[in-house]
Structure 1
């Protein structure tokens, strides 16, 4: 027998033994998380390729399936985070129509007003109205407080998730270094498993993609293109959380204006990238947390603020309508207070756009339209003249170069104005309305009859006028709305016939009831009710019902999207496992084939031994 045959058989035994060890390793790790099936390759050696040797040990998986798994993992973390908060918001407002829900509590209050209108001399009915009003205010307070508690919880979770993601990035970079400096294929596959598992975990926090490098390392980037890991270097993530958030807490690209935390990636070279900026992170729990904290929950706060403002304004304000001749409009602003508004549409080259002028004690300035009822309008403040007569000058200062002008009306007070096109302008003002709070203080319970400051701003009581002086009075009003304490000592004001007639009448209560249930108000599109492109008209009670139904629909939609995404994740996991997981039946089949090959090689060596023994006996 040729010595080459003995050498080949010996090499075959070694190669088969190595393959059997791989099968054994696969079977032993069949249930190990993150373990990818191994295979071993063989290479021909010797003269005329008559021998065999063990090649490299490699992992067997579908790279496309792995990328899809990471994509779906990121998406599932994003949708589940959003669905969880949406469900909590839906539960916050209660079951639509139930006595304890937001709209149900408002219904109870309006019904008590109607009952008081029918029985105006009843002290018990007046007390019931105030009690129901207090319950409504308390529910709005607690709902808005819960919204900010949810934001605070998300702020804390963002800090925890950022720390966990930063640790994973450091681990990936460390594993890159070990892989780059290791030549043992058995050790390499174990390190690659660990690295893939770390990247998979990272994908639950943010949307990542990888790029394989020639030296065996991988680069990790966000899908917006920010490189987080390059060879053995990793960015460090930090989060400057702000603790307890309130209605004024908001993100800004200007660090001096930002009042919430953001995720900062510090690159190995010292550069810094704000991952909390819009559009940088697009999926994963971090992206969902940022969106919920900065968009979804602030919009829920705005809905409650608008509802609280609608309640207060519907009962306390009066609407003054101007008179137009088709080109200019006359209107009387007597009694206008800081935060009260003058609104008129302006037609320029056939296009109509609202101009909103907000009364102020400060000099004229532009303000965000989102703070008004029309987020598409051109908004300016105008300074209420201290003399009470130069309204035209104050309005003209605010109008600036809009091609419009205001002048004092031919008759009436200095607050009676005519607003129209400036000289040489073709612009027209065909209508105008102003909302004016007719009482001077919260203790003034009769002069505005039928208007009444039943709901006021905080303690001590303050009139709600929507003032923008010293910040927006609207922002956070849902947390501060309360029942006018002055009414507790003078419940008879609820049914006083007029400012000069103290006798009880149901007319005031009936008008307050109508103001909430049948009078249409304009609510800002910033609340998201009815869309975000135009103001929304509804009664106060209709707006409350819309808030409840909108949150219910949003919760159902978020849950449906999450269910779909979880199904997609499950499918991706199954697809990846089909290629990378250990199939025991297949491994047992491989083992049988290897045992046969091992036996064949062993028989060659046995035959060689027997021949040598015979030769030695000659």
Structure 2
């Protein structure tokens, strides 16, 4: 009995001492980030479980809480990144209604037009109009440049995040290898802590999920299923940043068309995954960066481009509406410059009304303009060669329809056969009847530039007050050398010809240059109350159809939309940060070290240690008595 007691108490002392060491380690690491509380569970051994062994060291944590923590970490990084950039974007436009805000500057400009209409002979009033126009153009220039600076900053941050995420993947793979080859329980737990901490850090960059393998290693994948770590093999991440971005910098799945950087994951087997492709990453700072760079900020650029285009065309273009009869529409149009448009709604074969827009061109006919560059992303926009003038419009439009019909892409539009019948035509105008198998849904409309950048009288009251800074050119929205709209907000400026001859602002008519307030008043009306069509791609008023409002109204809508987006992003971020804090607390409750609890455990272990020691002492005394017999 005493020999068994001696063996049992000795094993008990060893097991208790090991448990005390674990408690001491827990207490010592109570404040260590990523440390998970250890426990030691002794196991019974020997005949009839008469003995005890030290057992194994295990990490005490809630796996579900850890999974939730990683999801919330990804979400919090995503919302924080978006909230920061949308807040900066909102600040670009100033406080709504203030004199320095975008709408305030526009209002100051329109008010000066009204004042000029009341004082047409005042040289000071004309100078004020030009000064306010220049200030408005400069503010739009600056806002658009800042949008691209934000995009460039996001591009740079994507590169830094890619480097950090790639290092974490390598660390996770390396720790997998160590865990696979480690038999020491204490070292194993340390490696597992380090690996979990690395995965937690990785989740702030991208949404990840893990799968535990039978050998103790962990595979790491994105939520969309792309495997980034498999045992001791990690994907290599690279980012081909493009430096400074501009309004024309866009993402494409075609590497030859892409003009921004993307994250490429090169797998151990040589396979490559484009993590920048929409849908591959769904959360984390990388996903937020791609969304901001490729969607949010380009839409802000488009809003400013549309505002600039509206400012220019509201003062230069005249609109004409045709007639509708028996499912066909007839309209008379003047000489069209490249970029001027002719639009007629058609009911497609699915019963949906779709706008067909013909864009005058000097170089091409029948080219389908990419939806993102058009006013109506759900319509069809075709170019037609208008270089022959009004007498050739019918022939050129019919040729454009024929080219479109032969294009395999035309099937997606589900349009009935399109046609045009010529009417009377002269060098200055043409009458056209547009058909679509009796499915024309409304009368055609045309928007034609009535002026030039240098002739300040023809077209009166229209005038090219705002022009494209590239060679002081008239803005028409041409597609002949790429989209003139793209980046126009950076280029809009006051016409040099008007700056040199301010009296043109008050010219009575094309033939009478005496001062009159009529022209300034009509320019005021054109900006403040005349409806102008803005692109559905701007996201203002919905994304399914073009949006019609005044130029001043559109500026106000931009500010309101950005303010609402910033407020929503901030609110979402606040909610997500609360969710992250809750997840951290839940995980810490199961995995963290409670010093009070550890002290209580230590007292119990000390008592157990004392009991085993007393058994050992009693056994020693019995043996001494036996030896003395």
* TM-score, normalization by structure 2: 0.96
User: Is the 1:348–1:426 contact (alpha carbons within 8 Å) kept by the matching residues of 2?
Assistant: no
In structure 2, C-alpha distance between the alignment counterparts of 1:406 and 1:370, rounded to whole Å: 27
Q: In the alignment, which residue of structure 1 is the partner of 2:362?
A: 361
Q: In the alignment, which residue of structure 1 is the partner of 2:251?
A: 251
The one-character-per-residue Cα deviations of 1:100-146 (angstroms, maximum 9, x if unpaired) are 00000000000000000011000000000000000000000000000
In structure 1, C-alpha distance between the alignment counterparts of 2:54 and 2:274, rounded to whole Å: 49
Q: In the alignment, which residue of structure 1 is the partner of 2:422?
A: 408
Q: In the alignment, which residue of structure 1 is the partner of 2:553?
A: 542
1:412, distance to aligned residue in structure 2 (A)? 5.0
In structure 1, C-alpha distance between the alignment counterparts of 2:426 and 2:442, rounded to whole Å: 21
Q: In the alignment, which residue of structure 2 is the partner of 1:599?
A: 610
The one-character-per-residue Cα deviations of 1:540-588 (angstroms, maximum 9, x if unpaired) are 0000000001100000000000000000000000000000001111111
User: Is the 1:391–1:415 contact (alpha carbons within 8 Å) kept by the matching residues of 2?
Assistant: no
Q: How does 1:51-66 map to 2 (within 5 A)?
A: 51-66=51-66
Q: How does 1:424-573 map to 2 (within 5 A)?
A: 425-428=437-440, 430-439=442-451, 441-573=452-584
Q: In the alignment, which residue of structure 1 is the partner of 2:413?
A: none
Gaps of 5+ in 2: 406-415
User: Is the 1:521–1:537 contact (alpha carbons within 8 Å) kept by the matching residues of 2?
Assistant: yes
Q: CA RMSD in A?
A: 1.4
1:420, distance to aligned residue in structure 2 (A)? 3.2
Q: In the alignment, which residue of structure 2 is the partner of 1:178?
A: 178
1:2, distance to aligned residue in structure 2 (A)? 2.0
1:414, distance to aligned residue in structure 2 (A)? 7.6
Figure out how many residues of one structure are paired with residues of the other and give that number.
615
The one-character-per-residue Cα deviations of 1:251-285 (angstroms, maximum 9, x if unpaired) are 00000000000000000001101010000000000
User: Is the 2:335–2:389 contact (alpha carbons within 8 Å) kept by the matching residues of 1?
Assistant: no
Gaps of 5+ in 1: none
1:387, distance to aligned residue in structure 2 (A)? 5.5
Q: In the alignment, which residue of structure 1 is the partner of 2:395?
A: 393
User: Is the 2:27–2:598 contact (alpha carbons within 8 Å) kept by the matching residues of 1?
Assistant: yes
User: Is the 2:391–2:426 contact (alpha carbons within 8 Å) kept by the matching residues of 1?
Assistant: no
User: Is the 2:313–2:476 contact (alpha carbons within 8 Å) kept by the matching residues of 1?
Assistant: yes
User: Is the 2:328–2:438 contact (alpha carbons within 8 Å) kept by the matching residues of 1?
Assistant: no
The one-character-per-residue Cα deviations of 1:344-364 (angstroms, maximum 9, x if unpaired) are 112346542211000101121
Q: In the alignment, which residue of structure 2 is the partner of 1:421?
A: 435
1:388, distance to aligned residue in structure 2 (A)? 4.7
Q: In the alignment, which residue of structure 2 is the partner of 1:380?
A: 382
The one-character-per-residue Cα deviations of 1:148-189 (angstroms, maximum 9, x if unpaired) are 000000000000000100000000000000000111111000
1:533, distance to aligned residue in structure 2 (A)? 1.3
1:426/1:601 CA distance change after superposition, 3 Å: same
Q: How does 1:179-194 map to 2 (within 5 A)?
A: 179-194=179-194
User: Is the 1:408–1:415 contact (alpha carbons within 8 Å) kept by the matching residues of 2?
Assistant: no
In structure 1, C-alpha distance between the alignment counterparts of 2:190 and 2:597, rounded to whole Å: 22
- 1:37 paired to 2:37: yes
In structure 2, C-alpha distance between the alignment counterparts of 1:560 and 1:327, rounded to whole Å: 50
1:71, distance to aligned residue in structure 2 (A)? 0.2
In structure 2, C-alpha distance between the alignment counterparts of 1:190 and 1:231, rounded to whole Å: 18
1:238/1:411 CA distance change after superposition, 3 Å: closer
1:123/1:359 CA distance change after superposition, 3 Å: same
Q: In the alignment, which residue of structure 1 is the partner of 2:328?
A: 328
User: Is the 1:445–1:493 contact (alpha carbons within 8 Å) kept by the matching residues of 2?
Assistant: yes
* TM-score, normalization by structure 1: 0.97
1:412/1:383 CA distance change after superposition, 3 Å: closer
User: Is the 2:2–2:622 contact (alpha carbons within 8 Å) kept by the matching residues of 1?
Assistant: no
User: Is the 1:112–1:129 contact (alpha carbons within 8 Å) kept by the matching residues of 2?
Assistant: yes
The one-character-per-residue Cα deviations of 1:37-80 (angstroms, maximum 9, x if unpaired) are 00011111122211101111000000000000000000000000
SS of the equivalent of 2:357 reads: strand
SS of the equivalent of 1:460 reads: helix
1:307/1:228 CA distance change after superposition, 3 Å: same
In structure 1, C-alpha distance between the alignment counterparts of 2:425 and 2:543, rounded to whole Å: 41
Q: How does 1:193-212 map to 2 (within 5 A)?
A: 193-212=193-212
1:407, distance to aligned residue in structure 2 (A)? 2.6
Q: In the alignment, which residue of structure 2 is the partner of 1:314?
A: 314
Q: In the alignment, which residue of structure 1 is the partner of 2:593?
A: 582
